[in-house]
Amino acid sequence: MMIRLRKISFSHAARVAVVSLLSIVLVACGGGGGSAGGTVGVGAGTSGGGSSVKNGNGAIQITLKDTNTGVESNSLGNGPLTAYATVKNDLGVAVANQLVTFTLSSNIALLAPASGTALTDVNGVASVGIQSAGIGSGALEVEASVKLATTAVTAKVAFAVSAAASAAPAAINFLKAVPSDSSIVIKGAGGSGRTEVAIVTFSVVDNKNVGLANKVVNFSTTSSQPVTLVDSSATTGSDGTVSVALNSGIDPTTVRVIATVAGTTISTLSDTVTVTTGQPVQTAFSLSVEKRYVEGGDFDNQPNKIFIRMADKFGGAVADGTQVVFTSTGGAIVGTGGARCLTLQGTCFVTWFSQLPRPASGVSTVTATSSSSTDLLSGSTSFVVSKSYARVYESATPTKRTPPVASGPTIVRDFSVSCAPQTVKIEIVDSNNNPLPEGTTVGSGTGTNATLSVSPSTVEYNGAEVVGSSGGSIHSVVVTPVGCDVLGSKTISGQINLSIKTPLGVTVPHSISLGSFKSL
């Protein structure tokens, strides 16, 4: 069968009727799409602070109001905002006990509570507070989301945080001072390791301990001595911190900086900043040594620490990092980067080691030098570079000695007429006529028919000025014959060794003869 098509014409009114009819048909058929599930959202609302969204399961509307006035507002200024989300079901009835989640698109504002969640009340309304984080200004969005049946419905609205929006300050805290030891030197004494300026930093925070920007802080000091604050006031940065420089004056002092939040009574004190001269003076230039008699005359690489202490004219330790250089007439010095050391808390040390050259006198002199801004400072100290091989002299006094016997017993005592113990004064020296090393022990060795005791039993520094070839250490030796009886019929002899041993273990035998004496 053949069908013939004809051209059909419509008037304008007819065309409108057809289009309308087609639209009705499309709606009835669900034309145009649309989903019964999923998430439905909308962009920011217009002025007035409101925005709403609905789907087949219900609707959510979000509104912003000034918390203090209750007026709708999209500006977070001097006071906080409250975000209200109203939830209704598909019949337009308010829904209670629905969990609404609020989120912010930027961290320049904060939600209260911080979880950003709230339940709708009997009117279907859930609310949260919004306040400035105090870290800047700008525009952002708050979004409210609720799950209705199987569909999450969200609405969001934009608002602005103005520069004026800031929480009220609750406290001002001292954070730190630079230098870290809070010590600076008087005006004109600065240099390497010495600064005349301290930087003191504070932080202004709200009641949540969040730093507050753009807060004016006023500064003053507690010192009656002349010190200078570079600024009398300053404004906190975006993190709530503020710093002020403190310049030293011409006199030593201690000072604390007082920081007060402008327009309030909120204030705090910094830690104490100490102002010292920091410059060493000759009268406080002190050298000392670990040992005065060092066993280095016969051995290399034996150490002796050399200490330096320095202070300023007021007795304050010099600035850390003050350099001291050392020289020596014998041996070698090892320090920090050479024959030097850098002070820490007013002191430092180097280590002297025994080696060539060795002065003929057996005494090594170490000289330390440093400087202030105006003077060259120096000091010297000496110590004996002791040899290890002992010589023993019998000595009635430290200045009267009997030369040692070249061979045979060093000391001879006579017990033929009395058996009472006898005391012998001896002097022990090295080959340079100097004391043996500190710590050398002197005591009893092996013997026959005799005992002895020695006092003092070690070689120690006696406090005298160190001068080469000035003698050794003095010891009292008590010798007692064993088995002695002047009425005895037998004759026996006695002998005992004097044991002298250096810290490095060197021993040289020295004997004491008791001669022949009567015995039962």
pLDDT category at 57 given cuts 50, 70, 90 is confident
* Fold: same for 43-161 and 282-385: yes
- HSE (side-chain half, CA atoms, 13 Å) at 1: 1
Instruction: Please give the pLDDT value at position 400.
Output: 52
Instruction: Please give the pLDDT value at position 293.
Output: 98
pLDDT 10s digits, 224-239: 778 999 999 999 998 8
Instruction: Kindly tell me if the per-residue pLDDT of 485 is higher than 90.
Output: yes
pLDDT 10s digits, 103-123: 999 999 999 999 999 999 999
Show the 3-state SS of 189-244.
Answer: CCECCECCEEEEEEEEECCCCCECCCCEEEEEECCCCCCEECCCEEECCCCCEEEE
Q: Determine contact, residues 172/241, Cβ cutoff 8 Å.
A: no
- Give the CATH superfamily of 171-276: Immunoglobulins (2.60.40.10)
pLDDT 10s digits, 278-292: 789 999 999 999 999
Instruction: Please give the pLDDT value at position 125.
Output: 98
The pTM for the full model equals 0.58
| CA–CA dist 305, 278 (Å, integer) | 25
Instruction: Kindly tell me if the per-residue pLDDT of 29 is higher than 50.
Output: no
Q: What is the mean pLDDT of residues 465-490?
A: 95
What's the helix, strand, coil split of the chain in %, to 5? 5, 50, 50
**Domain ranges (residues) in the chain:** 43-161, 171-276, 282-385, 391-519
Looking at every residue in the chain, the average pLDDT score rounds to 86
Amino acid (one-letter) located at 29: C
Instruction: Kindly tell me if the per-residue pLDDT of 195 is higher than 70.
Output: yes
Give, in words, the CATH class of 43-161.
mainly beta
Instruction: Kindly tell me if the per-residue pLDDT of 407 is higher than 50.
Output: no
Domain 391-519 belongs to what topology?
Answer: Immunoglobulin-like (2.60.40)
Instruction: Please give the pLDDT value at position 395.
Output: 77
Q: What is the mean pLDDT of residues 45-65?
A: 73
Q: What is the mean pLDDT of residues 464-481?
A: 94
pLDDT category at 151 given cuts 50, 70, 90 is confident
Instruction: Please give the pLDDT value at position 149.
Output: 83
Instruction: Kindly tell me if the per-residue pLDDT of 169 is higher than 50.
Output: yes
Instruction: Kindly tell me if the per-residue pLDDT of 16 is higher than 90.
Output: no
Give, in words, the CATH class of 282-385.
mainly beta
